[in-house]
Amino acid sequence: MRFKQLAEKLPAAGFGLGSLAWLASTEFNYALAPKQCVMHWPLVPLLALLLALVGAVGIWLSAIAWRKDRPLPSPDRPAAGVPTKLLAGIGVLAGALFTAIIVMQGIAGFFLSGCE
């Protein structure tokens, strides 16, 4: 399946991938903080970079779905009640918010060593 076809089927991918990446970032940050203290190696910022890329892929999928021009379906078709453009717009904005939070948590990992 091509990337654009996947984006058309998942207009809210930014919301889904962004929220899951933020959940993983928060949970792993708590788990990795003691290890970062012992190792003196920036584990949290590296994880944040990886998960921010996951969030960015979700934003990109939602943006592709949002930019796609679709004719309005006739009211008697099953796709008539599906708000694809709205879901894609929410996916882009929510994905950007979650990705920004992940990046801010990663930046904090540079300043906080985990030994506090």
Domains of the chain, residue spans:
11-66+84-111
pLDDT tens, position by position, 50-83: 999 999 999 999 998 888 766 666 666 666 556 7
* In the predicted structure, residue 94 carries a pLDDT above the cut 80: yes
* In the predicted structure, residue 23 carries a pLDDT above the cut 60: yes
How many Å apart are CA 31 and CA 13, to the nearest integer? Answer: 27
Q: Which of 52, 28, 37 is nearest to 107 (CA)?
A: 52
Cα 48 off chain centre by: 12
Query: pLDDT at position 35, please?
Result: 84
Contact 62, 14 (CB under 8 A): yes
Query: pLDDT at position 33, please?
Result: 83
The percentage of the chain sitting over the pLDDT mark of 70, rounded to a whole number, equals 83
Query: pLDDT at position 112, please?
Result: 80
Confidence of residue 114 (pLDDT cuts 50, 70, 90): low
Query: pLDDT at position 71, please?
Result: 64
How many Å apart are CA 46 and CA 25, to the nearest integer? Answer: 11
Query: pLDDT at position 92, please?
Result: 94
Query: pLDDT at position 43, please?
Result: 87
Burial call 33-66: b when 16+ CB within 10 Å, e when fewer:
beebeeeeebbbbebbeebbebbbbbbbbbbbbb
Query: pLDDT at position 7, please?
Result: 65
Contact 30, 106 (CB under 8 A): no
